[in-house]
Amino acid sequence: MADLIKGLASPAVWVLVLMVAGLWRSRRLRRRKGLRCGWYAGLAATVLYVLLASEFVASLLCYSLESRCRPASEAELAGLDAMVVLSGGALPPWKHRPRAEPRWATLARVDGAVEAFRRSGAQVLVTSGGKTAGTQISAAEAMRDFAVRLGVSAERILVQGVSLTTAEDATETAKVLGPGPGRRIGVATSATHMQRSRRIFERVFPQDTIVPVPVDYQFVPPRLQARMFVPSAGAFHLSAMVLHEYVGRLWYCLRHGA
């Protein structure tokens, strides 16, 4: 059920459903009511796409999440016992890519997490993310390799390569870290993903202090220029990512009442 809801959370699906509904209703050309409903559905799909694919709207949606997540301060980072960085996915190997590689969001998360890790007192960096279809190694292993290239000693990295969801990130990380109440654990992930991640980790680690470490900020202050309202694939992707996060937060609230 969770995977189905996750798939339906994409605005691309919403637009497709409206377009298909419009085509289906418009085929009944002899029935003016059916034609009218189909036309309205097609219009709604077009308007929704144009809005979500505009840089202006995408920036505002992104700001609605990221504005609530300020970067971790030096005082918050000081004295951390561990830092956990969550995966944003990995690309499977193919003929021009000999092995699985972290996706861009994952690279940005690891880069930001390593910088915060160096500024903190944490002795352990946990990379979190399992294998996806077609990958030979887990996202966590690819993240570890990237962190090592950034200068982190491999001996200080714990790999949690099982989880495929944010909830699993928390539960599987708890197994890797083991018991130890009273710890201060930093959780690094994209700023748009930070609030939901923090709530999930606080539920799984009730006796520890979870320190949010938001990285990978996507917001760019919009400028009122004509191109800001021209649909683009990049803007649509950003809108989809933000709305997917809102759906994820709603699903979490419905399941856990928080």
pLDDT in tens, the chain (258 residues): 555 565 566 676 677 677 777 766 665 554 565 556 767 777 788 788 888 988 899 999 999 999 999 999 999 999 899 999 999 888 877 778 777 788 899 999 999 999 999 999 899 999 999 987 666 788 999 999 999 999 999 999 999 999 999 999 999 999 999 988 889 999 999 999 999 999 999 999 999 999 999 999 999 887 777 667 777 888 889 999 999 999 988 888 887 765
CA separation for the pair 200, 66 (Å, rounded): 18
CA separation for the pair 106, 112 (Å, rounded): 10
Q: Contact 123/150 with Cβ under 8 angstroms?
A: no
CA angle 251, 101, 132 (to 5 degrees): 40
CA separation for the pair 87, 161 (Å, rounded): 10
> pTM for the full model?
0.82
Question: How many structural domains compose the chain?
Answer: 2
Domain membership of residue 249 as a residue range: 2-65+234-256
Query: Are 88 and 138 in the same domain?
Result: yes
- Residue 116 belongs to domain with CATH number: 3.40.50.620
| 3-class secondary-structure state, position 220 | coil
Nearest-Å Rg of the Cα atoms of the chain is 21
